[in-house]
Structure 1
Amino acid sequence: MRGVRTIAGDTANTLLFRELGRSDDQAEEAFWLINPGLAEYGAVLPAGIRVYLPEIEEKPAAAARASVWD
């Protein structure tokens, strides 16, 4: 489990996307499970808080593109 410090204006989604390259439901759920009590800070996390990132091996499945000709 890798730990990082938040920067000003971080939310769970922006932090996950910056550090893991994804912010889907699976990554966010794992993030909140390994960081209990973090939700008490609200939607925007204060700068300098040490949080832990989930170790998720697989990338989310890419959504099929829709076309007007389908």
Structure 2
Amino acid sequence: MRKVRSLAGDSVNLLLYRESGRSDDQVEEALWKLNPTLAEHGPVLSAGIWVTLPELDSKPAAITPVRAWD
């Protein structure tokens, strides 16, 4: 796991995407488990908040599309 600092105006999704190239549900859930007090900073993070990033697979799990006729 590595730690990064937020930039002014970052949201959790933006920070995740910038640092890992992903912002899907799996990686976001892992981030919240590692940073339980992060929500106290609100939806927009100020600069300099340390955030622990989870260890990730390089690609998210494949999502099977849902079709109306299935």
Q: Given the two structures, how large is their TM-score scaled by the length of structure 2?
A: 0.83
Deviations 1:4-43 (A, max 9, x none): 0000110110000000000000000000100111101110
Describe how 1:24-63 pairs up with structure 2 within 5 A: 24-63=24-63
Any runs of at least 4 consecutive aligned residues in structure 1 with deviations exceeding 4 A, and if so which?
62-65
Instruction: Tell me how large the CA RMSD over aligned residues is.
Output: 1.6
Q: Secondary structure at the match of 2:18?
A: helix
| Count of aligned residue pairs for this structure pair | 65
Q: Which runs of 5+ in 2 are unaligned?
A: 66-70
Q: Which runs of 5+ in 1 are unaligned?
A: 66-70
